Structure 1
């Protein structure tokens, strides 16, 4: 059985949000009332997430259900064209997700300065 691209995309968005807010698979599973192995299957796209379960996951992660579908082109295929220097599957990159989580842990004023610095450095490269 082939994984559907939308199921894979939704799973990646679950993992992305979970990592961003520093929640483990076990913690999310506990919040939703399922086993962590099921979260693993959702995150890989191995199992399709039902509408009611996605509703529960969205609530547990503090996002609207629509969050999980962001980045889909025409509601059918994930848009993985992110640029020549970035991996097409940035949400699967553990280092990128950890950087994102740490970035949002920085106070807003400092975060803005860091963002500006990163922009200057990327323009200089």
Structure 2
């Protein structure tokens, strides 16, 4: 049976890997394991050891605590129509974030301000 913490950590691994544009094969190679093991971690089927999580954090350029962010919110999650905490599980949202960060910084800031103004109007 999958443990909710293992599922959450696996999702965070997958999301970060997607954000940096890395394949499961590439991450597995950097960490020194088979890509099938990455698949098992990402689904929560296998628990990630502390040393493996340390290696994955280094390979994905994040602190180890990144994988646990938002975990406390899952216990109190209520479906009230708000933005889900797992927003990057949506491929469209992920593509939007990738595209946003591909925009030059000065234009990105202006786009951000426009989005902020439009969301205040709605």
Runs of 4+ in 1 over 3 A off after TM superposition: 77-83
1:25 is matched with: 24
Question: Which residue number corresponds to residue 120 of structure 1?
Answer: 117
Give the alignment's TM-score, normalised by structure 1: 0.84
Q: Check conservation: 2:70, 2:85, Cα contact below 8 A.
A: no
Work out the number of aligned pairs and report it: 122
- The Cα RMSD (Å) is 2.2
> 1:8-87 residue pairs with structure 2 within 5 A?
8-73=7-72, 77=74, 80=77, 84-87=81-84
- Deviation of 1:49 after TM superposition, in Å, equals 0.6
Q: TM-score, normalised by structure 2?
A: 0.86
1:85 offset after TM fit, Å?
4.6
Task: Tell me which protein shows more helix as a share of its residues.
Answer: 2
Following superposition, the deviation at residue 81 of structure 1 comes to 5.5
Equivalents in 2 of 1:81, 1:109: separation in Å? Answer: 37
Residues 80, 35 of structure 1: CA spacing in aligned structure 2 closer, same or farther, 3 A cutoff?
Answer: farther
**Shift in Å at residue 83 of structure 1?**
6.2
Unaligned runs of 5+ in 1: none
**Distance (Å, rounded) in 1 between the aligned partners of 2:109 and 2:79:** 22
**Residue 73 of structure 1 aligns to a residue in which SS?**
helix
